[in-house]
Each structure stands twice: as C-alpha cells, then as structure tokens.
Amino acid sequence: MSRNSFAFPTASSLFLRRLVSHFREQSAIVRTAADWTVLLYIIIPGGLLGGRFYYGFWNGEMPHWITYVPFMILPALLAILLANGGIVLLLQEGDLLFLRQRQNWINTIILRGMIYSLIVTALKVAAVFAVLLPFLIRGYGVSAAAAYGLLALTITSSWCVKLLGHIVKVQRQGFRRWLWLIPAVAVPCGVYLRLSVYWKDSPVLLFAAAAGFALVAAAAFRTRLRLRGTFMNDVREDYKQRMRIAAILLRSVLDKPRPTRYKPWIFRKSQPLLASKEPESRFSAAAVKAMLRNPAHFKLYLSFTGVALVAIFIVPAVLKWLLFIILISLMAYWLSSFWLLFSGDDYIGILPFTKVQKADAGSKAMPILLMPFAVLCAAVVCIPAYGWWGLLLFIPVGAAAAIWIGRIFSAMRFAR
C-alpha cells in the first residue's frame, strides 16, 4: 500500500500533529482558568504599563533600590529558572503498542521533541534575560559583549540542566532520583551562578564557559537518544511536563496526589513492632505503622511537634509545665481521633475485633504514638530549667506523661 493512504505517512507528520494537539491542550487549560476577554483587560493594560517602565529603565533614571541589591540576585533568579521545567517528548502510551515495530519513528519523535523543548527553553530564558537586561547594563555596568556572553552561558547551561535532569528522572526512582539530581541539576546551576558572578566583566571567559556547557549538553543529548527501556518513564515524565500549567492552576483547589510507592519508607519489611503476639498488640502495631507511613498524618505530627517545642521554649519558666500538660493533652486528643478513624475504617471492619479488643488496642497504641512528642517537650522543659539534672529527668518525665495522659484519653474516648 502507498504511504499516502495512511493518515500519518511519516514520523514527521505524526510529530507535527502531536505538537499542534499539545498547543491546543495548553490553550484549553489556560481558557479554563480565564476567558480571553478577561485576559485582554489584564494583558493590554499590563503590557502598556510594563512597556512604559521598561522604556524608562533604558532611557530614564534607574530606580534607587538597584544600588542596594547585589549583582548575585540576578544570576540567582536565572538559576531558579534553569532548575525548573523539563523536556517534553510528546510520547503517548499507545506508542508502546502501535509503534512497537517502528523504533525509528519513536526515535524521530524523541529527537524532535527534545529539539522543540530546547528551543522553548531558550526562548523563555531570552525573554527573562531581556527583562533583566537594562538592570545588567545600566544598573551594574555590564558591557554589551559581557551581556551577550552571559545570555549564551544562561541558554547553554539551561540546556545542560534540562537534559541531565531528564535523563535522571527517566532512569531513577525514589530517593535515588533525588541523590542523582544533585549532581545533575544543582551542580550545573551552582557552576553557572559562580561563573556568571566572577566572570561578568570577561566576555571571552563567558563565551568559553558557554561552549563548555554546550559540549556537555550535546553529550547529554546524544546519551538520551541512545537510552532504551525507559518508555513508560518517558511517558510519565512527559505527562507531568504537559500538565504543569494545570497543576499550577489547581494547586489551591485539589490536594496533591500521593506518589505510588512499591515499598514504604518506614518498616520496609513489615517486621513486628511489638513483642507480644496477641491480636490487640498486632492491631496497635498496625495503627502505629499506619500513622508513620501516611505522609499527611506524619507531617501534621511533626508540624505540631515543632510548634509545641517553640511555644514551650519561649514562654516563661513558670508557665512551661502548664503549657506542657496542655499541649500533650491536645496531641492525645488528636491521636485518639486518629485511632477512632483508623479502627472504624471499612477494611478494619472485616476483622473480627470486638469493641473491648479495639479499646484495648487503642489503649496500647496511644502511649506509643504520644511518647516521642512527650519526651521532646519534656526535654525543652527540663533541660533549660534544671540543667544537668534535666538531662536525667526529661526521658522518665516525658514517658510518664505519655502513659498517664494516653490512658486518660483512652478511657474517655474509646468505648467498651
């Protein structure tokens, strides 16, 4: 059959169709937040006012606050821009099925997607650099040649950061990804920041550094084209980049979805937490693990602990013990509410636990969950007030308070 009989006879036509769909998708996302009529009332006056200020920065007097701002702030702003964003490859899940036998088509889409992403990155950097240009030249006395060299350095370093970060993201998962992102993203940004500050008056050195970044970016570009076995990670990262605008618009409306984890951070082998093999002890241990493994609950626990420690530390000594009891009681009330929510879950209802067993299990879990908070609060009370004696007292005092208050709230809130 002739190639012309297909909707997309070549990989280039398929990529062009996906690029057009990508533009439509992004514009549709923006239109869901604001109508174009509303945007015109903002863009037109804002553009005119911004243009007037920009013209004044070039031809009028510079604002006085520029003398108090160090030059490092401008490269730091550009470095933040470099560290954000990524590569859009325009791959789709269906390619794994329909383009399985056409690896050259997938390679063409990846190649053109990377070129498109690097062009967009260069345009973004150039736009931001154009806004900062009058401050560089007139405010800090940077020559025109040095400004062009700094622009070249910024663009090439942005290419290097985007490509290296993308390679790490599609090959690593979990904490290993963050460990590899340090040399892949943080190190190039740090080198860029240092070179732009120390060589701002040396155009030749800036262009030489830009050439070095371009060589690293070319090597990373070639490495990315040779990667194999990362298709699903490519699709996942591509989807994240395409949904960046939607994520920004919905950040204050929807909660961030929890990432998929194949193993928990804590108790990875699900080892027994308590020595006793009684059903109540196993139930208590499950509640403790559920608290520590849930990011929202664990973050709230740590946040309240930090606020409580600061509050106890800053109040006068005569009020520390009173605030200590109040804060532990508040934490115990929240933990008892967590236990009621956990024990009342539909999944837990499948297990044949009676009310008495649930209450006994909650009575065991409460002191365990309350213990770290109580011991830390006791340390902030005892050590400043009693010195060396406080080092010996804070652990038994905190443990006793956790057991005592935990049992009180267990008796009050857990029905038998």
* 117-149 pLDDT, tens digit each: 999 999 999 999 998 888 888 888 888 899 999
Q: Quote the pLDDT of residue 248.
A: 65
Give the distance from CA 387 to its chain's centroid: 41
Tell me, what's the pLDDT at 252? 54
Q: 293 and 374 in contact (C-beta within 8 Å)? A: no
Distance of alpha carbon 362 from the chain centroid: 35
- Could you tell me if 202 and 146 are in contact, meaning their C-beta atoms sit under 8 angstroms apart? yes
Residues 6+ apart with CB under 8 A from 225: 107, 110, 111, 114
Distance between the two ends of the chain, CA-based, in angstroms?
77
pLDDT in tens, 15-69: 888 888 888 888 777 777 666 666 666 677 777 788 888 888 888 888 777 878 8
Compute the distance between CA of residue 25 and CA of residue 20 in angstroms, rounded to an integer.
9
**Nearest of 88, 83, 278, 113 to residue 188 by alpha carbon:** 83
CB 324, CB 401: distance < 8 Å? yes
pLDDT at 2: 44
**pLDDT at res. 99:** 66
d(CA 343, CA 283): 9
**Rounded CA separation 87/168 (Å):** 12
Cα-based torsion angle of the residue sequence 249, 254, 259, 260 in order, rounded to the nearest 10 degrees: -120
Predicted local confidence at residue 274, as pLDDT: 66
How does the average pLDDT of the chain come out, rounded?
Answer: 81
- Give per-residue burial for 55-69: e unless 16+ CB within 10 Å, then b: eebeeeeeeeeeeee
Residue 13 corresponds to which tokens in the numbers above?
């036509």
* Cβ neighbours for 360, distance < 8 A, ≥ 6 positions apart: 280
Query: Do 152 and 185 contact (CB within 8 A), yes or no?
Result: no
Provide CB contacts within 8 A for 70, sequence distance 6+. none
What pLDDT is recorded for position 218?
93
Cα distances from 212 to residues 83, 115, 224, in angstroms, run 18, 19, 19
Give the per-residue pLDDT at 207.
93
Pick out the chain residues at pLDDT < 50: 1-6, 262
Taking the C-alpha atoms of residue 93 and residue 350, their distance in angstroms, rounded to an integer, is 37
- pLDDT attached to residue 47: 77
